[in-house]
Amino acid sequence: MSDPKPFQEATVARILKAFHDPNGSRRFLVADEVGLGKTVVAQALVKKMMEGKTRPLVVFYVCSNLTVARQNRNKLLEVIPHDRRDSATSRTDRLTLMATSVKPSDRQLAIYTLTPDTSIPLRSGKRKSAGRCEERALIFALIESAWPELLELVDEKVFRRSASRSWGAAVYTQRSKVTDTLLKSFIRSVREEFDIGKGQSVVQNLEIQSKKALDFVAHLRNALAACAIRTLTPDLVIFDEFQRFRDLLAPDLDNAEKRVINVLRGDDPSCRPGLLLLSATPYRMYSRRWEESEGSAHHTEFLSLLKFLWGNVDDCGVRLGRCQKSFGVLEKEIRKGTPTSSEAAVAKIEIESLLSCIVARTERGAHPDGWDDFRTEHLPSSVISADIKTFKHLADCFQLRHHPWAVPYWSSIPIPMQTMSIRYVARRHAKCIPRRGISWFRKSSRDKLKPFDPPHPKMRALRQRLSPESLSLPWVSPSFPWWPLRGKWKGKTTGKALVFSRFRAVPQAVAALLSYDVEVASARGTNVVYESVSKRRLLQPSPKRPQLLGLFHPSIFLSQIDPLVTLSAPDRLKKNVRDQIKKALKDLGISVESSGKARRTWILLARLDAEYTKPARFIGAAWRAALTAGRDILGAGSSAAVKKWEDEAGKPVGHVTPKELEDLVDYALSSPGVVLARALKRHWPDAVTASGFAETLDLSWNGFRSYLDHPVFAAALEARDDTYPDAIRKAVKDGNLEAVLDEHFWILRKTRGAEGSDLLKALRTALRLRTGSFRLTAPAASGETSFNLRCHAALPFIDMKEGALQEGGEAQLRTEDLQKAFNSPFWPHVLVTTSVGQEGLDFHLWCDTVVHWDLPRNPVDLEQREGRIQRFGGLCIRQAIASKVDIYGKTNSGSPWETLERLAHDTLSDKSGMSPWWVCNGAQSRRWIFSVPLSEEHQRLEWLKQQRLLYRMVLGQPNQEDLVEILSRKVGTDIMKAREAMINLSPFFVQRD
């Protein structure tokens, strides 16, 4: 675990003070700005609360979806050693099943990951659910033991519901888990749930309740959840991004809801855990006039949250009154245009004093370098006649009542009549009118890989900036190249692009069209057809190609050669590597002699590794396992290749010729297998030992080889089928692949807490990501045929479906895999999303550009979007640090990023700890917006940026939009005045103002 920085430590100290206050509510909100590490604060809090405890600290981590939950839960687990983390984690995500599940066994920590929708059966305003088959089966087994006569009166279908084949097995499994303790607790809980008093018949009451089957099962689930939560007695409950389940904070709950929710939020006198709320947007941060008029105001939500945080303390009403009075003074001063007056300053201090015991919010703006903005680029997006024809056709196809939607759909969605699904009401009721001159994307054009010029100004502008040539590269450039980038990577210093759109149809359409452009470019000058592109394989093993094994072999002998010593003199790269290899050969008793014929390099590798690892014989077995683990069973070609390898491994090396020595030098620098092994070894030494070699080889062969076995990459590297292996080796050097991998493993360790083989597994997931496809629909009247387009270089991110943790493993979500792939230096280079990707997720590891396909409606959404890549150690931050810190001649055998980190701390850090890894002078991400003629995008962006600065000055106020307009006219965007006028709730920076 990384140590928290001083600004985070100050927040942790403030939380602990609030939790230990005997007169306090034990509730605290951390509302730090997006990307400043709220999870790190929670992690440090967990570590502090573990100190001195004689039993495990029980933590309930509550989040709205398991994709975000798993990401952040793993961060919390870093407080204990890696080998104990599994034993500290509950594999069940439902309270109803926790009473019978295997509990965490770690001696210091027990973490339970919950989602409100699955763990809280009864919530106001939410549809009741019968839960999963396992839950109902457990309830059935408990009733069977407690009140068997009830099952003669209530049809089993009430419990079984849609489960048919699995029901019997589920009940059989759950019967074995019913204990006397659980049974007694369940009986008491059911009586309380249905308000069945002493002397009243439980069976009679439950039979009546069962008439409403869904309500009946939901209440039984609630009774079971109440059983479990009382036995677990949490010490700390974390509500992460709680604005998505704000109903849990409601003051008026019915008796059934209270049974579970009150324990979670500390209202149950028998169990008062500390409640930590995490959210960068804990309340409506900014309200427009129309929102105020509809009652969904910032002011109302803000005061409601304060009441909840203060809880039932005796003087809650007095505090709230003082707070409102001070906000009134501030409002008056803002309306006068004097937000920094002495009266405003007194009111501001009063508010900060009142709120400091329940709220902490640190913003980048508190730091001198924190106001650095994105670098805005306006992409010229001219409108041509084909665009106008597309709009006219769309409007004519829509029914009259849907005409108002024609402009927003046309301006945002490329070829809308083909890419909009029937989920859109206007599209579902539209009638396609045949018309000549409309630019349809035809299947016949796709089949022949003909270029398609979409009649859409934004799409054309994006294609010009994200060219097929750049998207075709297999990896992005490192922030810190070890030697000059050459070839296709020369001059390529930018990272990936994250595109935000308003409509759900955009991500799939944009991703598919960008990926199609890449395939068209790859097939230029050939007769390749679309269907055959994905079927072509260039790196398949055969008896005639044993050299492929050598190319992707993570040679243990060559992995000890360290090119990092050449950083002090890149021009002497080959000489230094050659000297190291000669010494390594000498240590094995192998001389360099001119006599004899040069052997193939794969033969040398097989023999040298066998010699180097004597007496172990694990390499051949690892190769057979890797080839068998592929999608195809070990075939004749693969089997013969392994046989040749093992035959050669059994022969002596003899001596090495000068030609063979030069081949070894080239392989040490250019073999993907070797550079992978060496990069992994810097962060996981076991990668090239008997215990880890098989996993490393599997990643190289089934990860890298499979990933690179794509005709798009071969075309990008200008290689023919027979020369592609040589082109890969050239690319490894030109594109600094080893520097890329080393940087990736280092940042995974820092941001994900990944250690050991977890680094390998994360990269394997990224490299093995299955690409998707998008169906373009051809309206019947058009006479065209519907067809699919592949998505790979660019992918859509739209489905955030919630999964469930299972005992013994996790249900993997494709969105998690997609996030891992985008957070790697490999495909996809572009991710296109909607508001789904706007909150709670990190996309910053290799992305430096946010593309606003459609600008958001308010400044908070702008902040959320751009906060996805403005985070700890983001690509732009690393690029800036690498440009400022000179490490030449200062590296050792470890990762150069460890040296960069140490020197950056010595030369660029400040007292807060926010610099340089969160803010760094000169680290600017890129923001792209589209300059469509007659559009107001440029003016809207300026308005949003101004509002983003000024809305902070009207925290807690009613009529925010009016006040911001007054500030805009009377104060402008003076950053120093804005900082002085803002309410400062940062535990670190408020002490230094």
Q: Is residue 306 part of a domain?
A: no
Residues of the chain with confidence (pLDDT) below 50: 290, 292, 294-296, 632-634, 800-813, 992-993
Q: Are residues 788 and 695 in the same domain?
A: no
Q: Is residue 436 part of a domain?
A: yes
Residues 6+ away with beta carbon under 8 Å from 985: 31, 352, 355, 356, 359, 360, 361, 362
DSSP per residue, 462-474? HHHHS-HHHHTSS
Q: Report how far residue 436's alpha carbon sits from residue 441's, in angstroms, rounded to the nearest whole number.
A: 14
Which of 901-909's residues contact partners 24+ apart within 8 Å by CB, and which partners? 908/881, 908/884
Q: Are residues 691 and 584 in the same domain?
A: yes
Q: Are residues 587 and 518 in the same domain?
A: no
Residues 6+ away with beta carbon under 8 Å from 350: 322, 323, 326
Q: Number of folded domains in the chain?
A: 3
Written as six digits, the tokens of 908 are 């660029």
Q: Is residue 818 part of a domain?
A: yes
pLDDT per residue as tens digits for the range 18-65:
999 988 899 999 999 888 989 999 999 999 999 999 999 999 999 987
Query: What's the one-letter identity of residue 136?
Result: R
Q: Which of 853, 881, 908 is the last residue of a domain?
A: 908
Q: Are residues 688 and 559 in the same domain?
A: yes
Q: What is the pLDDT of residue 292?
A: 47
Q: What is the pLDDT of residue 886?
A: 85
Nearest CA to 356 out of 739, 734, 14 is that of 14
Compute φ and ψ for 303, nearest 5 degrees. -65, -35
Q: What pTM did the predictor assign?
A: 0.88
Q: Within a 13 Å sphere around the CA of 190, how many CA atoms are in the beta-carbon half?
A: 23
The residue whose two tokens read 């039993």 is: 55
Q: Is residue 171 part of a domain?
A: yes
- Measured over the CA atoms of residue 627, residue 633, residue 638 and residue 644, the dihedral's sign is positive
Q: Are residues 602 and 703 in the same domain?
A: yes
pLDDT per residue as tens digits for the range 118-159:
889 998 878 888 999 999 999 999 999 999 999 999 999 999
Q: Is residue 287 part of a domain?
A: no
Q: Are residues 582 and 636 in the same domain?
A: yes
Structural domain that includes position 820: 382-464+472-485+496-536+769-908
Q: Are residues 605 and 701 in the same domain?
A: yes
For 108, other C-beta atoms within 10 Å of its C-beta total 17
Q: Is residue 267 part of a domain?
A: no
Nearest CA to 236 out of 116, 60, 42 is that of 60
CA distances from 853 to 143, 374, 865, 870, 930 (A): 56, 16, 12, 19, 7
Written as six digits, the tokens of 767 are 């490299």
- Measured over the CA atoms of residue 534, residue 539, residue 541 and residue 542, the dihedral's sign is positive
Compute the mean pLDDT over every residue in the chain, rounded to the nearest whole number. Answer: 88
DSSP per residue, 535-553? T--SS---TT-THHHHHT-
Q: What is the pLDDT of residue 460?
A: 96
Secondary structure class of 60 (helix, strand, coil): strand
Q: Are residues 696 and 556 in the same domain?
A: yes
Q: Are residues 532 and 558 in the same domain?
A: no
Q: Is residue 632 part of a domain?
A: yes
Q: Which of 908, 933, 954 is the last residue of a domain?
A: 908
Q: Are residues 803 and 889 in the same domain?
A: yes
Q: What is the pLDDT of residue 365?
A: 80
For 112, other C-beta atoms within 10 Å of its C-beta total 27
Q: Report how far residue 831's alpha carbon sits from residue 192's, in angstroms, rounded to the nearest whole number.
A: 50
Written as six digits, the tokens of 234 are 């949490």
Q: What is the pLDDT of residue 587?
A: 95
The residue whose two tokens read 């939790």 is: 19
Q: Are residues 154 and 222 in the same domain?
A: yes
440: left (phi over 0), alpha (psi -120 to 50) or beta: beta
CA dihedral 542, 543, 548, 553 (to 10 degrees): 120
Q: Is residue 797 part of a domain?
A: yes
Q: What is the pLDDT of residue 638?
A: 74
Compute φ and ψ for 931, nearest 5 degrees. -100, 85
Q: Are residues 563 and 700 in the same domain?
A: yes
Q: Which of 186, 210, 230 is the last residue of a domain?
A: 230
According to DSSP H, which parts of 429-534 are helical? 443-447, 457-465, 468-471, 505-522, 530-533
For 567, other C-beta atoms within 10 Å of its C-beta total 19
